[in-house]
Amino acid sequence: MGIKRVLGLAFVYIGAVIGAGFASGQEIWYFIARHQEWGICSIFIIAVYFIILAPVFFIMTKKSHIENYQEFFYNNLPVSLAHLLDIIFSCFLLGSVSVMTAGSGTLFSNFLGLPYFAGAGMTISFILIVMKQDLKGIFTVNSIMIPFLIIITIYIVVFTIINENPAGRTWYNAGIAEGDGTGWLEDGLKYGAYNLIMAVAAMTNIVSTEKEKNILIGGVIGGIILSILIIIIYLGLIFFYRDIPVQEIPLLYLAKNTGKGGYLSYIFALYFAMITTALTNYYAFTKRFASLLNISYERCLIPGLLLVLPLLPSGFTELVNKMYPLFGGISIIITFFYLLIYFKIRKR
């Protein structure tokens, strides 16, 4: 077992999940922290997806001897259903890239005082540069930026909890989750399922050439780190915000408390969190796009990104709050199909 390769796989897996919505705190607030103490139960559900189901599904796609997510469906499901899931997965991947690009635009606009579309344009340019190096570029960027993001996130949240005055902060913040009922369960299932399906779609191409042991260990390590990060961000959000955050990037306001160095470091880390997810997801989409059009991977890089542009004017928060719950509900159904296929393959 090559520890460097295992960690590389773990970081790419984390990078596929940890993009703008996760690292900014926007997703964690919407799906977890707004449920306050019940958010702990949501985290437990999500951890099952990340630590157990994701590595199992990575191994399953590897054992199926396939190189992309559409082959997995066409080899194991009726053609009409495979067509439908193929389209849905492609929309998921492209939608994720649009959210990451919109998040970078918001970051540039709100926190650096630069035009929204300047940030989005820089992100698209960076994606093109890295993806011309194929998998080598993706592994390199993730291996550098994900550890940095983990360290700075932990520092910001711990600093906030230690130094902020907790007076007046309670579990039950007015108007946040009143009458929520089992909303924590629904959101936990949706959020976990969406990120699981996105990770499997993005990682299928990558794990096809890897050793099963490396895939399993890398998947478990990545899932554990993701779950720990969710807990850390969740604690920071419920501690700092007495009410619903009005900011599009709530965790960045915690970073302000750490001083200029911590604030600028988090802006840098957050931007590259968006990049890592956009890279991993766009890689999977481009491979599918190239296969569909029967042209080279390189020739699909620019045309695919043009499909992202119509979604950008919607803005970051709008895309997260509307697109992710919808995709999450659909992902629960897709997870069910994956489980059926898993038990089918085990019987062979």
What's the pLDDT at 230? 92
What's the pLDDT at 6? 92
Mean pLDDT by 10 residues, the chain (348 residues): 85 82 78 87 94 92 79 82 84 80 79 80 85 79 85 86 59 45 84 87 83 92 94 85 63 80 85 82 82 79 76 63 75 85 74
Prediction pTM value = 0.83
> In which residue are the tokens 């970073």 written?
255
> What SS3 state is found at 222?
helix
Question: What is the distance between the alpha carbons of residues 316 and 99, in angstroms, rounded to a whole number?
Answer: 6
**DSSP string for residues in 279-339:** HHHHHHHHHHHHHHHTS-HHHHHHHHHHTTGGGGGG-HHHHHHHHHHHHHHHHHHHHHHHH
Question: What is the number of structural domains in the chain?
Answer: 1
In the 3-class helix/strand/coil scheme, how is 40-57 assigned residue by residue? HHHHHHHHHHHHHHHHHH
What's the pLDDT at 216? 93
Residue 270: CATH number of its domain: 1.20.1740.10
> What residue numbers bound the domain in which 300 lies?
3-172+180-346
The pair of structure tokens assigned to 148 is 């940095």
| Contacts by 124-129, CB closer than 8 A, 24 or more apart | 124/305, 124/308, 126/275, 127/97, 127/275, 127/278, 127/279, 127/282, 127/305, 128/301, 128/302, 128/305
